[in-house]
Structure 1
Amino acid sequence: MVYQIGVIGLTIVGVRHNPLYRYTIREEIMICVQGKIGKFGSLMAATMLALPLASPVFAQSDDKEDDAPALGEIVVTATKRPERLQDVPISVQAVTGDLLRSGAVQNFEDVQVPGLRVSRGGMADTITVRGIGSGQNLGFEQSAPMYIDGVYYGRARTQRLGFLDIDRIEFLKGPQPTFLGKNAIAGAINVTTRRPDEEFGGEVEFSYEPVTNEKALFGAVDIPLGDDWATRFAVRYRKSEGYLTNTVTGRKEPEIEDLLGRMIVTGQLAERLKLTAISYFGNNDDRGRNNQSIICQPNFRRDISDAVREPCLFDRFKASSGLIPSAAESARPDLYTDDNGGSFYNRMRSVGGTLLLDYEFDSGVTLSSVTGYYKYKNYQFIDTDQGIANYSTATFTERYNQFSQEIRLISPKDGPFNWFLGAYVDKNNNDVVSTSDNDARNLLPLVVPPPPGSTNRTPAFVNARIIGSVQDSIEDASSWALFGEASYALGPVTLRGGLRYEEVKKDLEFAGCESTPYSGCTPLPVLQADRKDKKLQPAITLEFRPAEDVMLYTSFKKGFKSGGFSGTDGGPFNPEIANAYEIGLKSRFFDKRVLLNLTAFRSDYKDLQVSSFDPATALFQTTNAASARTQGLEAELQFAVTRDFRLSTNVTYLDATYEDFTTAQCFAGQTAALGCNTANNTQNLSGVTTPYAPKWSGTIAADWSQDIGSGLTLRAGSDLYFTGRFATLTDINPNSFQEKFAKLNARLGLASDSGWDLSLAVRNLTDKRTAAFKNTIPGGFNSIAAFTEPPRTFTIQARYKF
């Protein structure tokens, strides 16, 4: 018997039933990749030929009760109650902590999920889902926030806090108005950390990567504390020298040093009352950046001669800091480094705690409380002009603290009628102090003669570009919400209805000073402002289950994100609203050997919040696009070929555009001939793609394992991530696009029943050069810099569990 399965151009042919064995595989398995994939085809074929690895994108548990191949169950908490992933009528992808470790995934930027992008940018980090996300502004809350153990983490830098001792990550796509304490208008990343084991034990892991000279050490221990009580301590230290060479200092960049720690205590306060207490800290230091100039206009860095100027190339070297005349460096050494010996520095310190209480009544109803508090201080020093002399520098000091409380009542799931009620309140304060110093005198030859071939800048330019400024933006915010859902099952049909009401209040005090020429600060008038936003958000879902492992669903949800104030100039921006529609299929068949999920979605956004770089002020300005639309298709296929061999693929087609955006910021260097209205420095981006919205993206993966005797298991694997061309700037500068690429990862490992595990993981096997973000260089005469992603890396891992 032959089965043929086709999903978005993927066909698997040649599986045959043999009555002597429950399932066997014919001598040949042919993988055909069809459709509009272009140059990705050869790499996809290579992925299938390589020894397979469980892709970090697809979470699946091993079920080895018998020799029958089958896909295991994944349990998620996206709806605030444990449910099978296949029973949740939401587009969700889950990944386990073990799979992250096996793929040498060290941070959220390395997690490769189609339709989702986590990137470190120039001033802030961004999370984008289906082409919708928040831009580069410290006044923003994320449109796709992170939740760690049920607590909302909405600020840009907080994605660096949660990557420690992870049990599971759930990636939710589309607006989530019903189940989360704080609303998420584009999607959410739901992180659950590991809980203590009831028996004493632990694990130690060391990894080494020679390209970046990265060393990482992780340790965790479970300690029972008597009947029904236990604690878990986990700590992780990582230090990396980086993968770009700064040709001024001669050192590798970015140098990263992280130290994260967490303690969890669980226990029974009473017969029906369970407590989980979590505390953590995080120290993150980045020296230097994965940043290089890739487009240098003729006037950029003209104080350096053609003979010694480093060319602007997108390669393994850091071209944003080039060679300089030694006499000039000796005369003004203060121009070339910060206090840490480099032109970029980021330091983040964070602490926090979470208290979870769960009480089960006799009726089976569960009352849950989630209390969260965290704070952090983040300091950045940035050589904004990215040349060899600090013509333009900036600092950002962000102090943030948040308290939140959520209460939930959840009915037992043992009848046709189920319900969920929740209440949420939070209060936070964000204080951002930013400074800038622009001194064109630093661009002159200083005390040495101009090198041959260089052209001095005119005195008029020098006198016009000696300015400095300081801004202090203090925002106090509070919000509260009531939300819930009820569902009723009538045979194979289930109707779900949800409702959320939310109010958000923000108060701003913005002060600053500036001077031209710069001889001190002239205070600006203090700006005080406040706003209050409120919204009622309905959600409705219809499910139909024609068979045991088949579910069809369709849903409508209204999303909301409050307005606020820009962290750079205190300017206000309005709330954004979304109407989201989704139709999906979740299914398993062939004795649970094949999983097939399909999703069609469309979300219409009104007043989308957009942060764009303004070349005139060298700041990111925030406005509201009139409207935007994201729509597309998602397909996921998993196939248990044998008990020890599995294939999987996940493909997304995305069409995300600004529908009506006639007042978009012009990009740097844009002229009237290129579409810029020079009278007000705006352009019309209606019908143009949004950032991080490739037409096609996806993964193809395979994993294989085999018991080889003596208590040893051999594992091998590979996975391929591919993406089409996408923009990285909200002004859609044509020089900000990342071209399409495919990256191949591979792994080989050996594990023992006695607890030790040795492995080698290779990421970006074909050594593709790609950029997570591209930006216009302030003061760089419309030049462009890129935040380069890692090259090919080799991680050796040794782990011991006791």
Structure 2
Amino acid sequence: MRAHAPKLLALAIAASFSAPSFGQALEEVLVTAQKRVQSLRDVPISVNAVSGEKIENAGITNIEKLGDYIPSFNMTQTGIGTNIAIRGISSGVNQGFEQSAAQFVDSIHFGRSQLSRAPFLDLERVEVLRGPQSILFGKNSTAGAISITTAKPGNEFEAKLSALYEPEHGERDLRLVVSSPLSDTLGLRVAILDSELDGYMENTTLNRDESHDTNRVVRGTLVWKPDELWDITLKMETGSFDSNGRNIEVIKPVYNEQILDSNGNPPPGAIPYANMLALLTQGNYLLDTTHDFKRQSNGDYSYNNTENITLTIERTLGEHRFTSVTGYNAYDFEELCDCDFTGAPGFNILSMEDYSQFSQEFRIASPEDQTFSYLGGAFFQTADLDFHDEIRVPTNSVIPTALVSSVGSAANLLRGASTQRNFAQTTDIYAIFAQATWNITDQFRTILGARYTYEDKSANRHLYYVTSDGQALPQGSASDPYNSLWRIFRIDPHNIKGDRNESAFTPLVTIQYDLNDTDMVYISYTTGFKSGGFDVRANAAPNALDGLYPELDGTWEFEDEEVTNIEIGGKFVLAEGAAEINAALFRSEFTNMQTSQFDGSLSFIVTNAGEAVVQGLEVDGRWALTDSVLLRGGFAYIDFEYTKFPNSQCYFGQVDNIAPLGDGICDATGKRREFTPEWQGNAGIDYTINFSNGLKLVNTLDVIYSDSYLTTPSLDPRLVQDAFTKLNARIALSGDNDMWELALIGKNLTDESVITYANGLPVASVLTQGASSGFYAFYERPRSVALQGTIRF
């Protein structure tokens, strides 16, 4: 039944378009996917656009929640980072990466993964462009781009106050928007957000709900149009998004049968998993290994501050339009991860990051209604990143206790000790780009584009040890006791530096043919490039640079990722304008795909997978069945395969299948990547009832389906998310020409338990010397029902 569900959904959508229509023509959707305001029907790209109204009505507060409504688009939080994926392509967990699915806010690149967690506020629309977007959006967009456009002041005064309350998980959300013309040429818009969520995961160690999230944003947008030639917009925003706790559970013990003796005992010196459980359950600690939205932790937090300033200047020059976009973007955060993920005192990781970025883009665009039109420009960006983290062992930690049997009393040197890591990087990017459209006939056109990018990076990483009394230690020799102890956790002190520069030429060719006034088909060939860089989080250096222990051959520099993409698509209007359907068939071939994998202990290692192919089909559509009923739907079929990946990390208990044996490296060639369900889809209906007394009732139902998928970057087949179907619904009553509205919003009404990320339990396999381990997993929010009220004045 599972395999047929998405096909039936697709057939239902397709069949619906062939039926007679009695609804009104669909409202045209405008996008800026090609840096011009265009109808979505005219853009030869696989694009999903979600309006600001839909975002607000559905209670979508960040990118993660947007994934329900866009097939083949997902966001996941991990133990130490955030991933955005389009068509199954994401960057992995490492501060050295920028997102393969690049995020842009009002044309400013928000490439850092931490910024993807920032809350949505007062948006005009969000566009998700699938496939490489290298020409107009720039490098690092090998998977696609998320283009977010914030709302701007209009010509009339408007104000809106909205509030949301959900009692089960203690969610409170308050938003205020005021927009007004200040004169005939000047307008101001102010938006303020204050929201809080108590949490849906019970921490039985601290007796509290997690994660407790608090978001605050203040944005001011000033638009000045001194005459018909000028359009100047200044946006200033400051915000914070903080969390106490995590939505993590330890869910499943696993055993390595290959190294147990005939009696089921581990190697000498290792503690059996049952004994480790007893160690971790000493006192009031409890290690719960079944999913029940309960966790054990000594406390986590993530405190984030952001600020950005964007100045956009547009000037009409004859028939051309000149645009300048200047942006300053910065954030800092401090995070504490109780990364043994148990209630016992094991170890924790404190991380701090400070990032600032300045960018400048100039564009010139010709009129579109000509035989030959074009858009071109130049781009510059400079960025500074400072990162510090420390792996800390509390004085009452159970880890030294567990190690005494294998290394003796020297294990107690770890009590109160820590590793310290400093990483700094400076990046400069220069680019020129152009895209031209040749309208060969009224129906047939060719689009050619290219971008040349040059990037320069310099970085350094210093990892050292600090004793319990705060003394920083020199690197020392392989026989030093601290080095010997931390070596057990695959940590090797080092101090390395690097410089790299690279350039790339990324072309695009698109052929587009209009079948009639409303329908068109296209075929495109495009390339993408994501620059290489330096591994921030590796705990050992390559031996050729600075390693003490030959077996701990760490990573430092990784290479650029490249992709070529072929796409065939079409956009069609049916039922006399009351219905539309968009489809895209694609194939992307990657070389040197950048990945990040857990080493089984305390580190995520950056790896360039050799080659990968992702191909599939995407379909979405709308049909105004009547003036009061709108049907929506979409699905994506994704086929992902690593065609060459001989250097993947083995999952726990997996036997090395390539030489040299015992190094923890396995060949993943032929395997499917994590978070790539074969089928994803959604279907929705909006039903509006207008009453004679001026009241209006709008009913919305959304069905979200996902096929099963692997949840760990190590591709462990023992932890798979089963296929699921979620229901979201909204019932809203409004009156006085929409001056007020009261709505009931239900999410995940089927109460599905959905894993968004999972990985091996840190340290567990080290303490048991490979005999046993476990998993930790992030879970989506369970069923929730909220009340939302809005007043406009």
TM-score by length of 2: 0.87
> After superposition, where does 1:114-133 map in structure 2 within 5 Å?
114-133=71-90
| 1:358 to 2:324 alignment | no
Q: Give the Cα–Cα distance (whole angstroms) in 1 for the partners of residues 284 and 19 of structure 2.
A: 69
Of 387, 394, 400, the match for 2:349: 394
Q: Give the Cα–Cα distance (whole angstroms) in 2 for the partners of residues 675 and 791 of structure 1.
A: 42
Aligned with 2:576: secondary structure? coil
Report what 1:478 is aligned to. 428
| 1:565 to 2:534 alignment | yes
Of 677, 695, 718, the match for 2:678: 695
The CA RMSD measured in Å over matched residues stands at: 2.4
Letter in 1 for 2:434: G
Of 357, 361, 364, the match for 1:406: 361
C-alpha deviation, 1:316, in angstroms: 3.9
Report what 1:302 is aligned to. 278
Q: Give the Cα–Cα distance (whole angstroms) in 1 for the partners of residues 292 and 418 of structure 2.
A: 34
> After superposition, where does 1:197-212 map in structure 2 within 5 Å?
197-212=154-169
Report what 1:42 is aligned to. none
| 1:723 to 2:674 alignment | no
Report what 1:105 is aligned to. 60
Aligned with 1:377: secondary structure? strand
Letter in 1 for 2:300: F
C-alpha deviation, 1:412, in angstroms: 0.8
Q: Give the Cα–Cα distance (whole angstroms) in 1 for the partners of residues 673 and 421 of structure 2.
A: 30
C-alpha deviation, 1:11, in angstroms: 5.3
Aligned with 1:640: secondary structure? strand
Q: Give the Cα–Cα distance (whole angstroms) in 2 for the partners of residues 318 and 202 of structure 1.
A: 42
CA contact (8 A) 1:302 1:456 kept: no
CA contact (8 A) 2:221 2:236 kept: yes
Aligned length: 720
Q: Give the Cα–Cα distance (whole angstroms) in 2 for the partners of residues 125 and 796 of structure 1.
A: 29
Alignment CA distance shift 1:314-1:170 (3 Å): farther
C-alpha deviation, 1:420, in angstroms: 0.7
Q: Give the Cα–Cα distance (whole angstroms) in 1 for the partners of residues 194 and 610 of structure 2.
A: 45
C-alpha deviation, 1:7, in angstroms: 7.6
C-alpha deviation, 1:736, in angstroms: 4.1
C-alpha deviation, 1:744, in angstroms: 0.7
Alignment CA distance shift 1:223-1:676 (3 Å): farther
> Which whole-Å deviations, capped at 9, do the CAs of 1:210-248 have from their partners, x for residues lacking one?
111111100010122111210011000001100011112
C-alpha deviation, 1:10, in angstroms: 2.4
Alignment CA distance shift 1:17-1:538 (3 Å): closer
Stretch of structure 1 that moved more, 624-633 or 381-390: 381-390
Letter in 2 for 1:501: Y
| 1:609 to 2:594 alignment | yes
CA contact (8 A) 1:670 1:676 kept: no
Q: Give the Cα–Cα distance (whole angstroms) in 1 for the partners of residues 216 and 632 of structure 2.
A: 34
| 1:597 to 2:599 alignment | no
Report what 1:77 is aligned to. 32
TM-score by length of 1: 0.86
Alignment CA distance shift 1:394-1:580 (3 Å): same
Report what 1:536 is aligned to. 505
Stretch of structure 1 that moved more, 425-434 or 730-739: 730-739
Of 304, 312, 316, the match for 2:288: 312
C-alpha deviation, 1:375, in angstroms: 0.8
C-alpha deviation, 1:12, in angstroms: 6.5
Q: Give the Cα–Cα distance (whole angstroms) in 2 for the partners of residues 515 and 676 of structure 1.
A: 36
Letter in 2 for 1:9: L
Report what 1:488 is aligned to. 438
Alignment CA distance shift 1:794-1:316 (3 Å): farther
Q: Give the Cα–Cα distance (whole angstroms) in 2 for the partners of residues 429 and 608 of structure 1.
A: 24
> Which whole-Å deviations, capped at 9, do the CAs of 1:637-688 have from their partners, x for residues lacking one?
321110110112101000112110001112234334x889643220000011
CA contact (8 A) 1:207 1:215 kept: yes
Stretch of structure 1 that moved more, 290-299 or 225-234: 290-299
| 1:89 to 2:44 alignment | yes
Letter in 1 for 2:421: Q
Report what 2:781 is aligned to. 790
Q: Give the Cα–Cα distance (whole angstroms) in 2 for the partners of residues 653 and 14 of structure 1.
A: 20
Letter in 2 for 1:740: A
Q: Give the Cα–Cα distance (whole angstroms) in 1 for the partners of residues 227 and 561 of structure 2.
A: 44
Letter in 1 for 2:573: R
CA contact (8 A) 2:280 2:286 kept: no
CA contact (8 A) 2:346 2:399 kept: no
| 1:134 to 2:117 alignment | no
Report what 2:763 is aligned to. 779
> Which whole-Å deviations, capped at 9, do the CAs of 1:552-579 have from their partners, x for residues lacking one?
1000001000000011137110001001
Residue identity (%): 29
Q: Give the Cα–Cα distance (whole angstroms) in 1 for the partners of residues 426 and 400 of structure 2.
A: 47
Report what 2:482 is aligned to. none
Report what 2:199 is aligned to. 242
CA contact (8 A) 1:666 1:676 kept: no
C-alpha deviation, 1:388, in angstroms: 1.3
> Which whole-Å deviations, capped at 9, do the CAs of 1:407-463 have from their partners, x for residues lacking one?
0001111222110101100000011101002469622899xxxxxxxx997363774
Of 406, 417, 423, the match for 2:372: 417
Q: Give the Cα–Cα distance (whole angstroms) in 1 for the partners of residues 190 and 590 of structure 2.
A: 43
| 1:523 to 2:499 alignment | no
> After superposition, where does 1:8-407 map in structure 2 within 5 Å?
8-10=10-12, 24=22, 68-111=23-66, 112=68, 113-161=70-118, 163-297=120-254, 298-299=273-274, 300-304=276-280, 310=286, 312-321=288-297, 336=298, 343-362=299-318, 364-407=319-362
Aligned with 2:577: secondary structure? coil
Letter in 2 for 1:458: S
Aligned with 1:302: secondary structure? helix
Aligned with 1:600: secondary structure? strand
Alignment CA distance shift 1:14-1:573 (3 Å): closer
CA contact (8 A) 2:631 2:684 kept: yes
Q: Give the Cα–Cα distance (whole angstroms) in 1 for the partners of residues 322 and 729 of structure 2.
A: 45
Report what 2:519 is aligned to. 550
Report what 1:497 is aligned to. 448
Letter in 1 for 2:127: E
CA contact (8 A) 2:186 2:222 kept: yes
Alignment CA distance shift 1:665-1:6 (3 Å): closer
C-alpha deviation, 1:733, in angstroms: 2.0
Of 736, 740, 743, the match for 1:753: 736
CA contact (8 A) 2:96 2:533 kept: yes
Aligned with 2:448: secondary structure? strand
Report what 1:50 is aligned to. none
Q: Give the Cα–Cα distance (whole angstroms) in 2 for the partners of residues 712 and 497 of structure 1.
A: 51
CA contact (8 A) 1:417 1:486 kept: yes
Q: Give the Cα–Cα distance (whole angstroms) in 2 for the partners of residues 163 and 521 of structure 1.
A: 43
> Which whole-Å deviations, capped at 9, do the CAs of 1:262-320 have from their partners, x for residues lacking one?
00000114441110000001111100011111113525443145997646345343233
Aligned with 1:8: secondary structure? helix
Q: Give the Cα–Cα distance (whole angstroms) in 1 for the partners of residues 403 and 91 of structure 2.
A: 40
Letter in 1 for 2:279: D
Q: Give the Cα–Cα distance (whole angstroms) in 2 for the partners of residues 602 and 15 of structure 1.
A: 27
Q: Give the Cα–Cα distance (whole angstroms) in 1 for the partners of residues 10 and 658 of structure 2.
A: 37
Q: Give the Cα–Cα distance (whole angstroms) in 1 for the partners of residues 660 and 747 of structure 2.
A: 45
Of 655, 660, 669, the match for 2:639: 655
**Any unmatched runs of 5+ in structure 1?**
25-67, 322-335, 337-342, 447-454
Alignment CA distance shift 1:456-1:431 (3 Å): closer
CA contact (8 A) 1:469 1:521 kept: no
| 1:578 to 2:563 alignment | yes
Letter in 2 for 1:485: Q
Q: Give the Cα–Cα distance (whole angstroms) in 2 for the partners of residues 308 and 356 of structure 1.
A: 58
Letter in 1 for 2:424: I
Q: Give the Cα–Cα distance (whole angstroms) in 2 for the partners of residues 661 and 268 of structure 1.
A: 55
Q: Give the Cα–Cα distance (whole angstroms) in 1 for the partners of residues 727 and 381 of structure 2.
A: 43
CA contact (8 A) 2:187 2:223 kept: yes
Aligned with 2:41: secondary structure? helix
Aligned with 1:734: secondary structure? coil
Aligned with 1:86: secondary structure? helix
